[in-house]
Amino acid sequence: MDYAPIIEKTIAKFRRSAALAAQDGLIPYQGNTARWTGSPWEGNSWWTCGFWPGLMWQLHALSGDDFFKAEARRTEKLLVEELNTFHYLHHDVGFMYLLSTGADWKLTGDEQSKTHTLHAASIMMGRFNPAGFIRAWNGAEQAGYAIIDCMMNLSLLFWASRTTGDPRFAHVARIHADTALREFLRPDGSVSHIVEFDPITGQRVAEHGGQGYCLGSQWSRGQAWGLYGFTLAYINTQEPRYLAAAEKIAANFIAHIRPDGLTDCDFCQPADEVRLDNLAGMIAACGLLELHKATGNAAYDTAARRLVDGVIEHCCDWSDSTCGILTHCTASYHDDGAGRHTNIIYGDYFFVEALAKLTGRDPMLWL
Ligand code: GLY
């Protein structure tokens, strides 16, 4: 497929709808209507709030249009305020600040943005439990929870070590990645979503079902976080064990791509259930394209194109009556509060990152 016209249509739609976000003064979360809606919970501290500035930086890199840079910076300011609010922040500061302040520093060299990103990395370090893992969430009963999504956030720590020359951040990232390798990766190449550890001893206590269909099932977005996250851990460290994990997860994910190229919400969901999460497919496509670069194995490129071509054929909304593009994204299998079969901002982010990779124009904001 020729992706250049798709990129042009994408830039045109966001040029119009990003102006609406600026008018409304919000950070978009869902774009399935004529105006954007903001985070479902926790205001601008919600874990997805970095994807909008990340999307704006991607579009700026693709178009050269300063309008997108201005919109990225408008929302970067809002995220910097959340560093002071602090109490809602958790391990997803990786998602939030690599794609906002981190992207600004990477693409413009802005020193203040670099400082803010280091601040976020320090918050992430503060979540490390020396019993062997990075604590995911904040609830009192969740002191021992670690989740597969964190593999993506580790990139913030690798970035901080590279940027400062201080190896502490990368040490912590490796300790967590090794715990995830040991405790999350299953023999069939699938990964668990949540593993609970004793926060005193670090011993594994339980696995929890999380956002997937049931305990022990394969929540597709979790599979995608594992795929891309271990790939990034490999790119950051060159450790073959992380590459082997990424390839194992990739093989399982590829085996579950639907014939139409779309992605089920859980690879173990009942066969008669129609529940899609194209977000998962776009995250996996980005991971597969990086795996292709790392290994030279063309099967990863082919699989990524099946996923991207699938959503272009069936699940992209180019109309002017909505703000976002990717449809049929689902936040969680059993809880529709954050969206089911709808547009969700990080779906659009990873769709555009995948298009940028496919055309050799990705600024690679995760590194
Ligand atoms: N990181 C949370 C999610 O993927 O829903």
SS (H, E, C) 77-92: HHHHHHHHHCCCCCCC
Ligand 1 pocket: which of 93, 221, 263, 265 to mutate (most atoms within 8 A of CB): 221
**pLDDT, tens digit (0-9, with 9 covering 90-100), for 201-239:** 999 999 998 999 999 999 999 999 999 999 999 999 999
pLDDT at 283: 98
The answer to whether residues 324 and 270 touch, using CB atoms and an 8 Å cutoff, is no
| pLDDT at 199 > cutoff 90 | yes
Which residue type is seen at 224?
A
CA separation for the pair 43, 39 (Å, rounded): 6
SS3 183: helix
Q: Which two tokens stand for residue 280?
A: 């998962």
| Ligand 1 atom at shortest distance from the alpha carbon of 149 | 1
Pocket of ligand 1 (CB under 6 A): 47, 149, 211, 221, 331
Which residue type is seen at 290?
E
Mean pLDDT score of the chain: 97
pLDDT at 178: 98
**pLDDT, tens digit (0-9, with 9 covering 90-100), for 69-111:** 999 999 999 999 999 999 999 999 999 999 999 999 999 999 9
Q: Which residue bears the tokens 């399982």?
A: 252
Ligand 1 pocket: which of 91, 134, 149, 333 to mutate (most atoms within 8 A of CB): 149
Count the neighbouring beta carbons within 10 Å of the beta carbon of residue 356. Answer: 22
Strands 194-197 and 204-208: antiparallel
| Ligand 1 atom at shortest distance from the alpha carbon of 279 | 4
pTM of the model: 0.98
Nearest CA-CA partner of 103 in 169, 157, 52: 52
Strands 133-134 and 145-147: unpaired
Ligand 1 pocket: which of 47, 96, 138, 194 to mutate (most atoms within 8 A of CB): 47
| pLDDT at 337 > cutoff 90 | no
Give catalytic residue positions. 92, 149
The share of the chain scoring above pLDDT 70, in percent, equals 100
- pLDDT tier, 24 (very low <50, low <70, confident <90, very high otherwise): very high
| pLDDT at 113 > cutoff 90 | yes
Tell me how far the alpha carbon of residue 5 lies from the centroid of ligand 1, in angstroms: 30
Tell me how far the alpha carbon of residue 149 lies from the centroid of ligand 1, in angstroms: 6
| Ligand 1 atom at shortest distance from the alpha carbon of 331 | 5
Tell me how far the alpha carbon of residue 185 lies from the centroid of ligand 1, in angstroms: 18
Nearest CA-CA partner of 92 in 130, 58, 45, 59: 45
Residue nearest to atom 5 of ligand 1 (CA): 331
Structural domains of the chain sorted by starting position, each given as residue range(s) with its CATH number in brackets? 4-358 (1.50.10.10)
The share of the chain scoring above pLDDT 90, in percent, equals 99
